[in-house]
Every structure is written in structure tokens, then in C-alpha cells.
Copies of this chain bind each other. A is one copy, B any other.
Amino acid sequence: MSKIDNILAILWMLNSGEKITAKQISEKLEMNIRTVYRYIDTLSTSGVPIISDTGHNGGYTLLNNFIEAPLFFDFEEQTSLFHAAVFAEEAGYYGGEALNRAISKLSKYSNQEQEAKINQHFNSLEVIRRFNSLSIAGFLNELELSVADGYSVKIHYDKSGEQQLKFRLVDPYRIIYWNNKWYVIGFCHLRNEIRSFRVDRIESLMPTENKFEQPENFSASDFFKKNLLPTIEDKEEITPLIINGGYRALEDICQHWFLGHYLQERSSDQAIFLLEKGILHTYIPYLLLPYGKSIQVIEPISLKKRLVEVLSDLINFHQK
């Protein structure tokens, strides 16, 4: 960060109205504390009415909150904000309206030279959208409000694609975006436990006036990863899955959205995953099929057999 940026940052901090110590400033801005003293001195000398208190409960305040410190971004910063907006759009971010307003404001505050430079660099990158389900931004907006303000929602969730008329009351804790899909995680009163719901499978959603308490230090990330696939009911023993293959195929499989979580070890032609036996025989065969002959299961033998079973089954099915 340049000196100007840091000086302005100090002004913004002081302008917040709260007393702040030199140590806090030095930590926030990652500068040496001696430099903080110097900058404060510089600002004071320049006429900024800074009040400094020594001793306990000491720190700096402004005489009044009237300093107008301008906000500006250099072309790299602006370009990156514009690009970030593009990634958010690609993901189907629900706050697109506010984001467009922000971007629009930003784009009005450059002169022609700056604008040309920003465009040049902005156009270096193109983000191509993938296919998404029908717009779920409406539901996401509702959910966001409910999460932020702590209100339960009543949803009609349809997991299997078949009509069901049961509503659920859900305390939404967090919205999740993962692997090109939107989820809401929350406490489901119907099931009396924390559940995740794919937003594109919500048929209807109604806000309620039921207030709930958000749990402290809830990590949606942890919960989510633990519940990636339908839970196998009984605790089963962990077993290694050993796969041989070419460099590229292994690279792909080690970064697989599901299998990647269970990677234990790999070399240039072998990867070892640790999985529960139940998962191994129910889901893994289908996950491996698209790799064709570019990978080979070395262990467990039972999975090789299971694979052949699945394949035979499919042959019968497709010969009908």
C-alpha cells in the first residue's frame, strides 16, 4: 500500500468516530508503529484536528467528524472489482442489483485515460456462463433477508421431482454456493436437525415472523462437507481405494468434486483415497465410469467386482 493510501486509510479510521490506538492502526495497516506516529504527526502538522490521549484508554480521536477523505481506486483495483462482478454474475449471485449499482457508480468516476486502460484490461478476460436452472434469485433474495435478520421460512422442498404437499419450517443459518449450485443450510423443524437444501429444488418459499437465534460460530462449510452425499446410516470402517492411471486422468480424479475430499496420497501414476465401505459400493462405481479405460481400480477387489456388476446391469438395461 502506498503512503497516500495509508494516510487516507488513517483518516477514514479516525472519521469513524471511535477512539483508536496507534497499535491498532499499525496492526490493521500492517505498518511499523513508529511510522504510524510519523503519519499522525504529518496529518496533525497539516492541520487535521487530531486529539491524542496518553495512558490507559488512550488513543486518537478527531475534534469533529467532518473530514471529507475521498475514496478512489487505481485502474488495477477498479478492473479487479469489475471482474469480480462478472464472476458473481456467472455464479448467479442474488445481489446483482446492488452490485450493478456499485459497478455503475465506479465506472462514472474515471477520466478517459483511466477508462481506456480499465477497458483494455477488463476485456482481457471473458467469463463464460455455464447452464443454470431457472432463475432462483427471487428465492435467494428472500433467504438472504431471512438469514441476516434471523427469521424462519416455510418452504416446500421437492427432492425427488415428485409432487409432495408437505411444508417445512426452516431456520436458515447460511446460504452456500458450491460447485455451481446454491444451497441453504438451516435447522429443519420437520426433521428436527440441521439440513441443507438445494435452492433450485425449493418449490415455494414464504417468510414467517418466527424469530430464531443464529448459532454462534456455525461453520456451514464444515457441516456441508460432512453431508456431501446421502448419509450412510451406520458407521462403517474406512478402506483404501487405490487407483492407477495416466497423469492427466489422475489429476482430474484427485480434483473431483467428491473424491477430492477423500484423497490420502498420490504419485504420478497412482492415487489412494480413504472411504467408507458403504460409499465405495454404492456411489463410486458411477463416479468412475466416465473415466473409461484411463484409470484402473487396483484395490479393493470387491470394487472391481462391483464395477463389473454395475456394467453388466447397464448392458441389460440398454439392450431392452
Contact = CB atoms under 8 A, between A and B. Distances in A.
B74 A71 contact: no
Interface string A103-119: 01110111111100000
A221 B98 CA distance: 26
B102 A73 contact: yes
A22 interface: no
Given A105-B9, A221-B126, A99 B77 contact: yes
Contacts of A109: 12, 47, 49, 63, 65-66, 71
Contacts of A251: 133, 161
A157 to B, nearest CB: 13
A307 B289 CA distance: 12
Copies of this protein in the complex: 2
A286 B18 CA distance: 62
Contacts of A9: 105, 108
Interface in A38-64: 42, 44-51, 63
Contacts of A93: 80, 83-84, 87
Interface stretch (A187-195, A205-213, A231-239, A291-299): A291-299
A46 B99 contact: no
A177 B90 CA distance: 10
A61 B292 CA distance: 65
Given A177-B128, A311-B311, A17 B292 contact: no
A296 B320 CA distance: 10
Contacts of A42: 2, 4-5
A308 interface: yes
A111 B50 contact: yes
Interface of A: 1-5, 7-9, 11-13, 15-18, 28, 42, 44-51, 63, 65-66, 68, 70-81, 83-85, 87-88, 90-91, 93, 95-96, 98-99, 101-102, 104-106, 108-114, 120-121, 123-128, 130-133, 144, 147-148, 160-162, 174-180, 220-221, 224-225, 246-248, 251, 254-257, 260, 286-287, 289-290, 292-293, 296-297, 304, 307-308, 310-315, 317-320
Give the top 8 A-B pairs by smallest Cβ distance, nearest first: A161-B247, A47-B72, A289-B289, A77-B102, A76-B98, A80-B99, A84-B84, A131-B255
Given A8-B46, A80-B98, A128-B176, 8 more contacts: A4-B7, A9-B108, A44-B113, A45-B74, A47-B110, A73-B102, A87-B88, A286-B290
